[in-house]
Amino acid sequence: MTQIEKARLLKILYQYRAMGFEYFKEYKPVGSKDTSSMLPKEIGQLKESVMSCHLCNLSKTRKNVVFGEGDENAKLMFIGEAPGASEDEDGKVFVGRSGTVLTNIIENVLRLKREDVYIANIVKCRPPGNRVPTMEEVSACKPYLMQQVEKVNPSIIVALGSTSFHHLTGEYETEISKIRGEVLELGNAKLIPTYHPNFLLRNPSSKKEVFQDMLKVKSLL
Ligand code: URA
Ligand code: SF4
């Protein structure tokens, strides 16, 4: 999208907001079947355009956009919720305390290198105070993530936590504790939900469930 098209779109969105709309379940521009078809296909180009994104309110409070990183041909992709304070500071995904937990899972349980998987989040800018991103923010940001998923084309996606699971599947009513460890489908990939590393920091006894879920991931790789 050109800068002028973006500015026009933003104006229309502000007009909708003034009329009382809080979010669009899914934004589809008139005359286009699929929003992602308007996004750059190459990950490098996609990253470049996302780095200056102002499509949602989170752009006003973020320090850095956290695009995600890893092997663009990875078989395994992890999708978290949103950048936290450390990620916002560094512009890198999962670098704080929960990042250490995730890195341990990748290296010590899956016996892979962190740079051999791909890691991203449902939204790319930090929600203030680490609140859960709103539906409006997710709707604005998710097309970027789906473009990354399409390009990386992993065979397995691990949804880290309920926000990731809910927005990847649209199953907002299902609790993560009820669905974790199940092997679901998402496009070409198998989707396995598990607990978020932050949850493990607060509930270390749940590590055993995540360990089991990762053994399942390993058996499918
Ligand atoms: N939590 C997430 O979900 N993602 C990050 O990048 C960091 C913390
Ligand atoms: Fe853009 Fe996503 Fe950041 Fe919102 S969260 S400003 S949609 S990159």
- Does the pLDDT of residue 32 top 50, yes or no? no
Atom of ligand 2 nearest to the CA of 137: 4
Using 50, 70 and 90 to split pLDDT, how confident is the model at 49?
A: very high
Atom of ligand 2 nearest to the CA of 133: 5
- β partners of residue 190: 156, 185
Quick one: average pLDDT of 47-71? 97
Superfamily of 39-220 according to CATH: Uracil-DNA glycosylase-like domain (3.40.470.10)
Top mutation candidate among 23, 47, 50, 142 for ligand 2, by most atoms within 8 Å of CB:
50
**pLDDT tens by residue, 158-181:** 999 999 999 999 999 999 999 999
Please tell me the pTM assigned to this model.
0.85
Using 50, 70 and 90 to split pLDDT, how confident is the model at 28?
A: low
Ligand nearest to the CA of 68: 1
Quick one: average pLDDT of 185-191? 96
Ligand 1 surroundings by CB, under 6 angstroms: 80-84, 87, 93-94, 96, 98, 121
Domain ranges of the chain: 39-220
